[in-house]
Amino acid sequence: MALQAKNLEVTYRTAGGRSVPALTDINLEIADREFVTIIGPSGCGKSTLLKCFGGLLSPSRGEVTVNGQPVTEPDPNRAAFVFQDYTLLPWKNVLDNAAVGLHFAGRSKAEGRAKGQEMLELVGLDEFAKQFPRELSGGMQQRVAVARAMAMDPDILLMDEPFGALDEQTRQKLGSEMGRILTETERSVVMVTHSLDEAVFWADRIIVLSARPGRIAKEIEVKAPRPRSLSFIGTDEFALIRAELFRLLEVPSAMAEASQ
């Protein structure tokens, strides 16, 4: 088992001293090489949960472990993040961005660049190594962000709405290619998304969170083998799961029913 969350609870304290529960009663296990998507209403704590998984946020109660080790602070070798809005460092070229995690870990420049180059080849951007992020499209920048995470050779990849800032056409094209890459690299992946299509297309398992305070309302398994081609979107399995998600997210009574 790659990741385990036990009785996880996150409570924020407002400026006025009031406690606001963001997540409650989260119990979850993610297996090796499993691709899990997390979906839920806006503000339900999806990103908060991902930050807890990666050690960027300490839960108010409960525990997160990766391969049996408790997560108390970020460790990109254990869990590496891919954030929503690219977050490449604009003053570093593409290769140095891909190798930045290794640079922060104190590895030599040569080693970092060799690994960075290898990861850029994996995502098909090796010929753009010397360019600056501003010279790349949004989709390409996000590929570099994936290369940056993969360069750390992490046990788990944590992706926070990684394609949220892209247009629909680029999302589909990139999603299909990244699905293949991530399947080939055999990582466990947890991806937060607000897109029903993405949630179904990528996942082995979909975790549906209820509205704030977020709790797991339902888990849905997607049986089709990965990697999937874009034709999967036209299958009955895709349509049925998508309809189920739509019902859960758009019809409040359905979510309440599922939560019980």
Partner 1 sequence: MTALQEVIQVPPTGKKVRRRRPSQSAHRWVLLAVVIALLVAWEAVSRLEWVNPMFVSRPTDIFAAIPDVLGDEKAVDALTTTGTSIWWAIVYAVIIGIVGGYLLGSVQVLRDAFYGPVNFIIGIPKSIFIPIFLLAFGINTQTAIYYGAFSGIFYVMINVVGGLDLVEDRHMMVARAYGASWWYRVRDIVLPASTPGVFAGIWYGIKNGLQGVLIFELFISVGGLGSLIKTYTNRLEIDRVFVVVLGIAVISIVLGEIWSAIERRLSRWRPSSTANADTGV
Rounded to whole angstroms, the Cα distance separating 167 from 139 reads 9
Helices (H) and strands (E) in the chain, counts: 9, 10
Residue 18 within binding range of partner 1, rule CB under 8 A: no
Rounded to whole angstroms, the Cα distance separating 40 from 47 reads 10
Q: Closest CB to partner 1 among 132 and 242?
A: 132
Q: Closest CB to partner 1 among 76 and 162?
A: 76
Range 102-121, binding partner 1 (CB under 8 A):
103-105
Residue 56 within binding range of partner 1, rule CB under 8 A: yes
User: Smallest Cα–Cα separation from 49: which of 71, 78, 75?
Assistant: 71
Q: What is the dihedral of CA 173, 175, 176, 179, to 10 degrees?
A: 160
Q: Closest CB to partner 1 among 86 and 201?
A: 86
Residue 91 within binding range of partner 1, rule CB under 8 A: yes
Stretch that binds partner 1, among 4-12, 29-37, 83-91, 194-202 (CB under 8 A): 83-91
Rounded to whole angstroms, the Cα distance separating 30 from 52 reads 14
Residue 11 within binding range of partner 1, rule CB under 8 A: no
Among 21, 74, 164, 227, which residue sits at the site for partner 1 (rule: CB under 8 A)? 74
Among 22, 71, 152, 255, which residue sits at the site for partner 1 (rule: CB under 8 A)? 152
What amino acid is encoded at 186 in this protein?
A: E
Residue 85 within binding range of partner 1, rule CB under 8 A: yes
Residue 130 within binding range of partner 1, rule CB under 8 A: yes
Sheet with 61-66, side-by-side order of all strands = 19-30, 3-13, 61-66, 69-70
Rounded to whole angstroms, the Cα distance separating 122 from 163 reads 18
Residues of this chain that bind partner 1 (CB under 8 A): 54, 56, 74-76, 80-81, 83, 85, 87, 89-93, 100-101, 103-105, 124, 127-128, 130-137, 139-140, 148, 152, 170, 173
